[in-house]
Amino acid sequence: MRNIPFFTTEYGVASLILESIPMRREAYILLQSTSAPQKLLEECRAFCVACGAEKIFASAQEGLEDYPLFASILQMNARRLSIGDTDAAVFPVQQETAEQWRQIYNEKMAKVFKAAWISESAMSRLLQEGNAYFIHRNGQLLGIGVASEGEIRAVASVIPGSGADVVRALCHTFFEEEIKVEVASTNTKAIRLYEKLGFISVKELSRWHKIL
């Protein structure tokens, strides 16, 4: 199911993230421009439900105070030197290994708040961008990740306790000295890992309220 970047009604404009509905029954609403947030939200909510969503989360500058806060998206930064090094190696995903990578990603990210569900078409885009990786040590798969331009966009370990090596290996793909990640406040395991590696929270990027 495709996302709708500009869902326009008489009450304003919103972005609808629908890609997780087929597998997780979750949808996300980002209110962009509106003078009637409650009315726009209700139209977005109804559309998401019609698409099959059973859980709906929304973010906006204002107008969601009556809904319970579920999670914040945080930006964490670290100097590359503080993260440390590893002997694990990164291998770019190739056409013949793309389906394996996609299956691992979707399985590991299934319960992570606001993590994208990677469809076959989304996997094709990742292949074109060339920023999806396997991380190995001595022929053993430690995990997978997505990284580009100083930002770690996804991390998933296959072997328990290998998360730090996965992050450090992904840093081998960077020229930048300042590394950043985005992480949901509900993902406490990931936050502990990043803090252990020297990352600190520098800003709150968005707040997501539970609508349904």
Q: What is the pLDDT of residues 54-108, one digit of tens each?
A: 999 999 998 999 999 999 999 999 999 999 999 999 999 999 999 999 999 999 9
Ranges of each domain in the chain: 4-67, 74-206
Give me the pLDDT at residue 125, please: 95
Which CATH architecture fits 74-206? 3-Layer(aba) Sandwich (3.40)
Give me the pLDDT at residue 92, please: 98
What does the block give as tokens for 172? 């081998």
Contacts 24+ apart (CB under 8 A), 85-88: 85/168, 86/137, 86/164, 86/165, 86/168, 86/169, 87/137, 88/135, 88/136, 88/137, 88/142, 88/162, 88/165, 88/166, 88/168, 88/169
Residue 160 has a CB neighbour count (10 Å cut-off) of 6
Q: What is the mean pLDDT of the chain?
A: 97
CA dist 99 to 65, 72, 95, Å?
A: 41, 31, 8
pLDDT by 10-residue block (mean), the chain, 212 residues: 95 97 95 96 98 98 94 98 96 98 97 93 96 97 98 97 98 96 98 98 98 96
Give me the pLDDT at residue 90, please: 98
Q: Please, what sign has the CA dihedral across residues 83, 186, 205, 133?
A: positive
How far from chain centre, in Å, is Cα 125?
16
What does the block give as tokens for 83? 């993260």
User: For residue 135, what are the β-bridge partners?
Assistant: 90, 143
Give me the pLDDT at residue 1, please: 87
